[in-house]
Amino acid sequence: MTAQTVRARRSARRLKTDITRCPSLIEEAQRLRYRVFSEEYGSDLGAEVPGIDADTFDNVCDHLVVTDSDSGELVATTRILHQADLGSNGTFYSAGEFDLTAFGNVTGAVAELGRTCVHPEYRNGATISLLWSAVAEYLVEHQVDYLIGCASISMSDGGLKAWRIANQLQRDYLAEEQFRVTPRRELPHLTRIPETERPVDVPPLIKAYMRLGARVCGQPCWDPEFRCADLLVLLEVNKLAARYSRHFMGKVA
Domain residue limits, the chain: 3-249
The span from the CA of 197 to the CA of 68, in Å, is 41
pLDDT tens readout for residues 218-227 = 999 998 888 8
The span from the CA of 94 to the CA of 178, in Å, is 17
Crossing angle of the two packed helices 204-212 and 125-141, in degrees rounded to 10: 50
The span from the CA of 60 to the CA of 198, in Å, is 42
pLDDT value at residue 246: 59
Ordered mean pLDDT values, 10 residues apiece, the chain (253 residues): 40 83 97 90 75 93 96 96 87 95 90 94 87 88 94 86 92 95 88 64 87 93 88 91 57 45
3-class state of residue 176 by DSSP = coil
The span from the CA of 200 to the CA of 2, in Å, is 30
pLDDT value at residue 241: 58
The span from the CA of 209 to the CA of 148, in Å, is 11
The span from the CA of 250 to the CA of 244, in Å, is 9
The span from the CA of 5 to the CA of 11, in Å, is 10
The span from the CA of 231 to the CA of 182, in Å, is 10
Q: Which residues contact 150 (CB under 8 A, 6 or more apart)?
A: 93, 94, 97, 114, 221, 223, 230, 231, 232, 233
Which is the CATH superfamily of the domain at 3-249? Gcn5-related N-acetyltransferase (GNAT) (3.40.630.30)
pLDDT value at residue 245: 58
Q: Go through 218-243 and write b for each residue having 16 or more CB atoms within 10 A of its CB, e for each that does not.
A: bbbbbbeebbbbbbbbbbbbeebeee
Whether the Cβ atoms of residue 23 and residue 71 lie closer than 8 Å to each other: no
pLDDT tens readout for residues 130-187 = 888 889 889 989 999 999 999 999 888 888 889 999 999 999 999 999 999 999 999 8
Count of CB atoms situated within 10 Å of the CB of 45:
18
Fill in the DSSP letter of residue 189: P
